[in-house]
Structure 1
Amino acid sequence: MNPLNHVAIIMDGNGRWGIKNKNSRNAGHKAGLKTVELIIKNSIDHNIKFLTLYAFSTENWKRPKKEINYLFSLLENFLKNKLINFNKHNIKLKIIGKKNFSKNLNNLLKKSESKTKNNTKIQVNLALNYGAKSEIINAVNKLNKQNLKITEKNISSHLYTKNIPDPELLIRTGNTKRLSNFLLWQLSYSEIFFEKKLWPDFNTNNFNKIIRKYKNLKRNFGSI
């Protein structure tokens, strides 16, 4: 069976779920947080060491300001309310992306990372204000400034995900089949599963089914 250390998820469908069920995109974002908690717990049950969640992309700034403000208020409340629980369950939190939010949110993100940095059960990477193309450009620029040779190893060591193994598995919910500028470098050999369910409807049975399928795949990595 294939080992599974790192799962990455594009949590798509919150807004559509909210419109369909509550006539409110924001209601979908709120419902999606329950799925986040569920999947973190289930990942621990599967002994997965890294879980990367695509929470807010660099392209999401194009959304209405009111929706963006609601998303960040949800995130602030989530971190404030769950930080103790993260430590209780030995969960490490890491933010990948550019931390150029409000002063309050930036401080909260730094505090959350600092307070959980020694936890070892699972590392949850929240991709916030994240874009893979800008991440790669940023890494190359750092190499140029340091007069280092541009190699795969050097680029990998200057990404937001340095010291984190590449995901073996990517899941995208919401019945959309694209990568949306997410972990383009790191996903080069990941197995990709597209799930029809919207993120708030995604559950442990769906997650377990995908993991079972992944573990029984024959992975060749270019060989026969």
Structure 2
Amino acid sequence: MAPLPKPTDDLSGSLTPPTHVAIIMDGNGRWARERGLPRTLGHRQGVEAVRRAVRAAIDLKITYLTIFSFSSENWKRPIEEIDDLMGLMKRFIRRDLAELHKAGVRIRVIGQRSHVDSELMNLIDEAVELTRDNDKLTLVIAFNYGSRTEIACAARKLAEEVAAGRLSPSEVTVEAIANELDTSGIPDPDLLIRTSGEMRLSNFLLWQTAYSEFVFLDCYWPDFDKSAFEAAIAEFRSRERRFGGLSKRSMA
């Protein structure tokens, strides 16, 4: 893997940052294993990395930050690990909600509500309601989320509208589908970062990342910090986004 460009001093200055950054936070378990520690400690260090990422996003003037905290496939993990992850989510909300609210962070959660215990759902709903009018940063937490299920649910809703005669088949457009996704009203990610050196999407934002730039980092998620965030943005800025068109060089 080629080394990332070094972060520059002006990342939080005059150059326009990406509006929306999405992150697949990968490598907690491997981080712990390489240190002879239990996986639970890797996840707890991963929460510290989330806190650093949120602070960095605010400093770098990013408008939307989406983090993949728990996938719908993660239910296949051992029950002890699932319980620990659920507990970490509860503690994160209880410990950080007041600080996030004070910092102007709006919380939005995407994903299915099924299988999630009522205590955690109540905490999530409380966080969303408390922060709904904040505008410094929108923190989108993908929790119990799977992109294929999200797209299938959107298609099902539109099919029901067509069957009921409230929508014609010709009105099932790209825009209509996007409006039924969990991310309705949120701009598509400009940049997607994945840590731990893995190079796949893992059923994350499949529709929304159609034209996103991908940056894959070798570091494990617990080691992710502002410097790694800045390096990923520097790599993003080094690319020419064409969205299916010709580059300026090709047209010259």
TM-score by length of 2: 0.87
Look up the match of 1:190. 212
Determine if the alignment matches structure 1 residue 179 to structure 2 residue 193.
Answer: no
Look up the match of 1:108. 123
Aligned residues of 2:17 and 2:61 also touching (Cα < 8 A): no
Aligned residues of 2:65 and 2:140 also touching (Cα < 8 A): yes
Aligned residues of 2:17 and 2:62 also touching (Cα < 8 A): no
Question: Structure 1: which amino acid aligns with 2:83?
Answer: N
Which stretch has the larger CA shift, 201-210 or 24-33?
201-210
Mapped partners of 2:149, 2:16: distance in 1: 31
Determine if the alignment matches structure 1 residue 12 to structure 2 residue 26.
Answer: yes
Of 139, 143, 153 in structure 2, the residue corresponding to residue 128 of structure 1 is 143
Fraction of identical pairs, as percent: 41
Aligned residues of 2:31 and 2:222 also touching (Cα < 8 A): yes
Cα deviation 1:48-98 (Å, max 9, x = unaligned): 110000010011000000000000001101101111101110001111001
When residues 43 and 118 of structure 1 are mapped into structure 2, their CA distance, relative to the original with a 3 A threshold, is same
Within-5 A mapping of 1:45-64:
45-64=59-78
Deviation at 1:22, TM superposition (A): 4.3
Look up the match of 1:154. 176
Aligned residues of 2:199 and 2:216 also touching (Cα < 8 A): yes
Determine if the alignment matches structure 1 residue 119 to structure 2 residue 134.
Answer: yes
Look up the match of 2:156. 141
Deviation at 1:216, TM superposition (A): 2.7
Look up the match of 1:223. 245
Determine if the alignment matches structure 1 residue 40 to structure 2 residue 54.
Answer: yes
Cα deviation 1:169-206 (Å, max 9, x = unaligned): 00000111100000000000000011111000111111
Unaligned 5+ segments in structure 2 are 1-14, 247-252
SS of 1:146's partner is helix
Mapped partners of 1:18, 1:55: distance in 2: 17
The count of corresponding residues between Structure 1 and Structure 2 is 224
Look up the match of 1:87. 101
SS of 1:127's partner is strand
Of 231, 244, 249 in structure 2, the residue corresponding to residue 209 of structure 1 is 231
Higher-Rg structure is 2
Mapped partners of 2:244, 2:80: distance in 1: 47
Deviation at 1:2, TM superposition (A): 6.3
Question: Structure 2: which amino acid aligns with 1:12?
Answer: D
Cα deviation 1:19-51 (Å, max 9, x = unaligned): 222420000000001110111111111111100
